[in-house]
Amino acid sequence: MKKRMIVLVVFVALVVLGRKAFVSAEPAQKPTADTIKQFEADFLKASLEKGSAGYLSFYADDAVELPDGADAIVGKANIAKTMGFLDNKNNHLTWSPVSAGVSASGDLGYTWGTYEFRSRREDGNEIVEHGKYMTLWKKQPDGSWKVAVDMGNMAGPRK
């Protein structure tokens, strides 16, 4: 009987202490709109510093690109085939988020904003495009955040 009582006391103590530890454990911090905007800033910085390699480093392997006036491009490997223009020193792509948000579950986020693309033609004349974009960010199994879907459209004719 004494042995059972000791086992019971130890069991109750473990349950109470375990529950207290579980209840007091801090939950993982949910990302905010500012967190997603920071991902976007880091994405732009990597693109400007490393060209297509930096740009693509933010894409999930199963990402989808929805280019203006063209078919969807599915998969990072296929998207990479179209991003070489970022390695041309005459091309300059920048963007700025206007707004961002995060899903209630904390595993999806989005940004939308404006972009500018500047390039030079062979004759030396500059081309300037302005447009809007939307990026869907998804938390990956390893805890990192990657671009899941990206799209943009021009806001007027090329100049």
User: Among the listed ranges 13-17, 38-42, 110-114, 127-131, which one has the minimum average pLDDT value?
Assistant: 13-17
In sequence order, the β-bridge partners of residue 149 are: 64, 136
Taking only the tens place, the pLDDT of each residue in 39-88 is 999 999 999 999 999 999 999 999 999 999 999 999 999 999 999 999 99
Q: Which fold has domain 28-154?
A: Nuclear Transport Factor 2; Chain: A, (3.10.450)
Determine the pLDDT at residue 82: 96
Taking only the tens place, the pLDDT of each residue in 7-50 is 444 444 444 445 444 443 445 688 999 999 999 999 999 999 99
Which residue from 99, 97, 116, 98 is spatially nearest to 40, judged by alpha carbons? 97
Record the pTM: 0.79
Contact call for residues 46 and 58 (beta carbons, < 8 A): yes
The stretches of the chain forming alpha helices (DSSP H) are 2-24, 33-56, 76-80
